[in-house]
A and B are shown apart, each in its own frame.
Chain A
Amino acid sequence: MKSRFVRIRGRGASTSTGDLELFFQAEFCRSGTPELEMSVFKIDESLQQLSQLIAEFYASRPDGRFEKPRDLDHFDVTGLSPRETQSDGDSLFAFSRRAHHVVPFHSADELRDFAAKLLDQANARLLRVTPVDMKRHVRAKLANNDPEWTAAIERMPNIRTWAESTKGEPGPAIKKAKTGHGGDSDTNA
């Protein structure tokens, strides 16, 4: 399977207005200063790896709190960034550390050019992953007593609460049932 570079998005509304300056500030600057070492993640093209990456991202916050994963589309930046170098990130999970790369930009102008190209192609480069996709990944890991997720839950018990909650998930399939009156009726079991 082919690989791709993923940029985890900070704000879903960063592309809403199509304004480059807003997009640049929201996604690529901190304190008004361009981040010249941009983090990206090299994963394969499967939804499974994308779900894993994003779930692990939200369970690895620097302040040690688990944040309920957000409903954001992320960016496929494959072929847009000028260079990438592997660099272990600070994730609690080995998969994410291995996937972490840094794109070192030579200048703010080079980063701005990158942002402009990405904004221009943003709609075609969105990667959809839902909180439900991530829950399914985490549930599977917990069912297999995955040591990394088990350790994460010891530190952040609300991960389990989130993963086991079915809020936001589609309900059970609607079944056709005989009513006994010769007709069918819909029942949401």
Chain B
Amino acid sequence: MERLKEDGFRHPQTGLAIVGTEARELAGTMQRSESSGTQPEFYPLSVVIDLAVAGSTDIAALMMTATSGESAYQVGMSFADLATQRPDELLAIIKRGILAPGALTWAAEAAGCIRESEAAVPVLLGLLDHESPLVREGAVYGLAEHRDEKVVVKLNWIAMNDQDDAVKRAARVAAEEW
């Protein structure tokens, strides 16, 4: 892996910069798995995403195996990194429908940070029909960062008609002008 100046690595497949605690953990995980010849007990999110995008595994299942408790990876931060650095990957992950609702809600919110609204908005609008209110709420937070006339109309409709009160409240605030 490419070493970075500030005590970190660049993940070889995703190109994400991994620094600080994350870098130390990743290095430790990789070392342990290399020396034992086994798969690492913990999968860094970037690796999981990479595997999932490659279609080789089920990201939701893998994420549920990451329960060693030694990791400080944050879905929100990592998805946010993807949103700014590799937005196409983030949207691909969302569209594949392989994230569990507890993760998909954060991915949808992070998609709010994607600069290209034309790419992000259709994907987020699609999530407003998701069966999980958690996911719909995350999509509302993502769309709040891509407000245009069409988005505001949809947010107002959600604020009136969604079946979940929490989603309605989220949409009401998101639809308001500043």
Interface residues of A (CB under 8 A from B): 11-14, 16-17, 21-22, 24-26, 29-34, 36, 62-63, 68-72, 107-108, 131, 158, 161-162, 165, 167-168
Contacts and interface: CB of A to CB of B under 8 A. Distances in A.
A165 B178 contact: yes
Contacts of B144: 68
Per CB-CB distance, the 5 closest pairs between chain A and chain B, nearest first, are A25-B102, A12-B166, A32-B63, A13-B133, A13-B166
B177 interface: yes
Given A11-B166, A25-B102, A30 B134 contact: no
Contacts of A17: 133
B74 interface: yes
B169 to A, nearest CB: 4
A165 B66 contact: no
A12 B75 contact: no
Contacts of B170: 12, 70-71
A107 B69 CA distance: 8
17 contacts: A12-B167, A13-B167, A22-B101, A25-B101, A26-B102, A26-B134, A29-B102, A30-B76, A31-B45, A32-B64, A62-B77, A63-B80, A68-B176, A69-B173, A70-B173, A107-B69, A165-B176
Interface of B: 42, 45, 48, 62-69, 71, 73-78, 80, 100-103, 105, 113, 132-134, 136-138, 141, 144, 164-167, 169-170, 172-174, 176-178
Given A25-B100, A70-B141, A165 B177 contact: yes
A13 B144 CA distance: 17
Contacts of A22: 101-102, 132, 134
A12 B66 CA distance: 25
A168 B166 CA distance: 16
B71 to A, nearest CB: 5
Nearest to B177: A167
Contact of B73 (A12, A26, A33): A33
A49 to B, nearest CB: 22
A130 to B, nearest CB: 10
Nearest to B134: A13
Contacts of B177: 165, 167
Nearest to B68: A33
A31 B134 contact: no
Contacts of B102: 21-22, 24-26, 29
Contacts of A62: 77
